[in-house]
């Protein structure tokens, strides 16, 4: 104990006597540690951003589109032959166990007249479950219910952009609007959703009951697509299989025939984006790790120079009775203290930088305590690893040779 305390004192004195050199040496580790933590933090932040963006699309959402039909080998392109019906949607709602929500969607575009003027926008007919599937909400008023769907009620729920355009100064609830000359009553306003990840203004929309959209506005028999909600994100793939099976059966497709519909899921997007982000985080981390190693080599370099420069000192210490391990421990302690100091300053710097990035630059940076521990541990390990060789070199010197060194 006394021994350890003394050697620690010697090492500390050595460092304090060479303040400038100590500081410059630690700089490599400081930058290394800080950059590892911040880089990985920036990567993790970007990943979290993308994930939250994707989850704002909906709740475990699965989208079903009509597929290209084939006639005599010629592909007609996506949606060229619309084969999705309301009955398909109902069948999925009834039969698919892994699906918790189903909303068919019927899109028409229409000229809207009402309030202060007119506006051209898309009108989508959806079911009552649509809002939950899309993770959307009602700002004021209410959404239509099952009864409205059954009765093909002429009620509309407006997006924020429509409200801004048609009712800038009055409450739209209860107002009459005309969609392609058909009168509708406004019963609700949607919350603001902003731009979609594809840049489209999500708030520039009007929602009506699916039956109203299908029979009163588009006048067709096919729906444009379906929004489904899987019970959980993890069950997405199984749910897709289930839906595929139901649709193939209903469309009487023989085994070996291509699907006449396409299915895309949110899980796919997340997986894709996460994969990309992981690669980026890894890349950033790798670059930073290299800088940490370079910092370690800096420590070794300085320790080597320091051993050469202090050969006489080592000789003096050996001459008055220092054992090899005393000298070894002294130099090891010096390099470990240096790298730990670098680690502490590096971690502090990383937290400051992350704070600046988060609050001033507005870049999401998530400091991961695991990464902090790892970087710190790595710094200490670098100290031992890169300090050992020069320390051993110093400790093994012959006292008389060390003393004669000029």
Window 246 to 275, contacts with another protein (CB under 8 A): none
Spatial contact of 156 and 208, defined as CB atoms under 8 Å apart: yes
**Among the listed residues 405, 390, 393, the one whose alpha carbon sits nearest the alpha carbon of residue 319:** 405
CB of 7 to another protein, least distance (A): 8
Smallest gap from residue 322 Cβ to another protein (A): 5
Contact criterion met (CB below 8 Å) for 43 and 276: no
Within 8 A by CB and 6+ apart from 15, the residues are 22, 334, 337, 338
Q: Closest distance between another protein and the C-beta of residue 390, in Å?
A: 19
Q: Which helix (H) or strand (E) holds 106?
A: strand 99-114
End-to-end CA distance of the chain: 35
Rounded distance, CA 361 to CA 120, Å?
A: 38
CB atoms inside a 10 Å sphere around CB 15: 20
Q: Which of residues 287-326 bind another protein (CB under 8 A)?
A: 312-313, 315-326
Task: List all residues 6 or more positions away from 374 whose beta carbon is below 8 Å from its beta carbon.
Answer: 36
Which residue in 202, 198, 178 sits closest to 190, CA to CA? Answer: 202
With contacts defined by CB under 8 A, name the span among 10-18, 110-118, 205-213, 382-390 that binds another protein: 10-18
Q: Does 332 bind another protein (CB under 8 A)?
A: no
Sequence-ordered list of residues with C-beta below 8 angstroms from that of 391, at least 6 positions apart, any chain: 303, 307, 327, 328, 329, 330, 331, 332, 335
**Mask 373-402, x = binds another protein (CB under 8 A)?**
-------------------------xxx--
| Residue 6 beta carbon to another protein: minimum distance, rounded to whole angstroms | 5
Q: Is 158 helix (H, G, I), strand (E, B) or coil?
A: strand
Residue 176 binds another protein (CB under 8 A): no
Candidates 7-15, 67-75, 281-289, 369-377 — which segment interacts with another protein by CB under 8 A? 7-15
- Site for another protein contains 10 (CB under 8 A): yes
- In whole angstroms, the minimum distance from the beta carbon of 301 to another protein comes to 22
Residue 56 within binding range of another protein, rule CB under 8 A = no
Question: How many chain residues touch another protein (CB under 8 A)?
Answer: 25
Strand pairing of 74-75 and 70-71?
antiparallel
Query: Which residues in the 190-219 window bind another protein by CB under 8 A?
Result: none
Q: Which stretch, 4-12, 31-39, 110-118, 164-172, contacts another protein (CB under 8 A)? A: 4-12
Which residues would be at the binding site for another protein (CB under 8 A)?
A: 2-3, 6-7, 10, 13, 17, 312-313, 315-326, 398-400, 403
């Amino acid at each position: 104990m006394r021994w350890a305390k003394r050697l620690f004192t010697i090492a500390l004195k050595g460092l304090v006597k060479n303040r400038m050199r100590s500081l410059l040496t630690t700089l490599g580790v400081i930058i290394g540690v800080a950059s590892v933590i911040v880089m990985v933090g920036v990567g993790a932040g970007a990943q979290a951003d993308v994930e939250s963006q994707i989850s704002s699309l909906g709740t475990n959402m699965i989208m079903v589109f009509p597929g290209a039909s084939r006639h005599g080998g010629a592909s007609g392109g996506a949606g060229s032959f619309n084969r999705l019906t309301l009955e398909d949607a109902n069948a999925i709602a009834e039969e698919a166990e892994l699906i918790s929500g189903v909303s068919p969607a019927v899109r028409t575009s229409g000229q809207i007249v009402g309030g202060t003027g007119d506006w051209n926008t898309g009108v989508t007919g959806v079911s009552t479950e649509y809002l939950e599937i899309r993770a959307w909400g009602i700002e004021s008023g209410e959404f239509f219910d099952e009864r409205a769907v059954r009765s093909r009620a002429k009620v509309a729920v407006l997006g924020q952009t429509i409200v801004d355009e048609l009712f800038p100064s009055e409450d739209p609830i209860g107002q009459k609007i005309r969609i392609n000359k058909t009168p509708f009553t406004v019963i609700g306003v949607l919350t603001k959703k902003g731009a979609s990840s594809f840049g489209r203004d999500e708030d520039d929309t009007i929602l009506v009951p699916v039956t109203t959209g299908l029979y009163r506005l588009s006048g067709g028999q096919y729906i444009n697509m379906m929004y489904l909600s899987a019970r959980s994100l993890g069950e997405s793939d199984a749910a897709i299989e289930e839906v595929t099976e139901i649709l193939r059966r209903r469309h009487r497709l023989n085994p070996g025939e291509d699907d006449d519909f396409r299915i895309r899921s949110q899980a796919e997007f997340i997986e894709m984006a996460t994969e990309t982000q992981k690669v980026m985080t890894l890349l950033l981390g790798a670059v930073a790790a290299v800088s940490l190693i370079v910092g370690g080599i800096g420590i070794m370099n300085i320790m080597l120079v320091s051993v050469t420069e202090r050969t006489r000192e080592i000789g003096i210490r050996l001459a008055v009775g220092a054992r090899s391990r005393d000298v070894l421990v002294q130099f090891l302690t010096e390099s470990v203290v240096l790298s730990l100091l670098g680690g502490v300053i590096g971690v502090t710097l990383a937290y400051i930088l992350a704070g600046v990035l988060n609050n001033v630059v507005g870049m999401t940076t998530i400091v991961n305590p695991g990464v902090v521990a790892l970087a710190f541990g790595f710094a200490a390990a670098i100290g031992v690893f890169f300090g050992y060789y020069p320390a051993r070199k110093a400790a093994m010197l012959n006292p008389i040779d060390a003393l004669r060194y000029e």
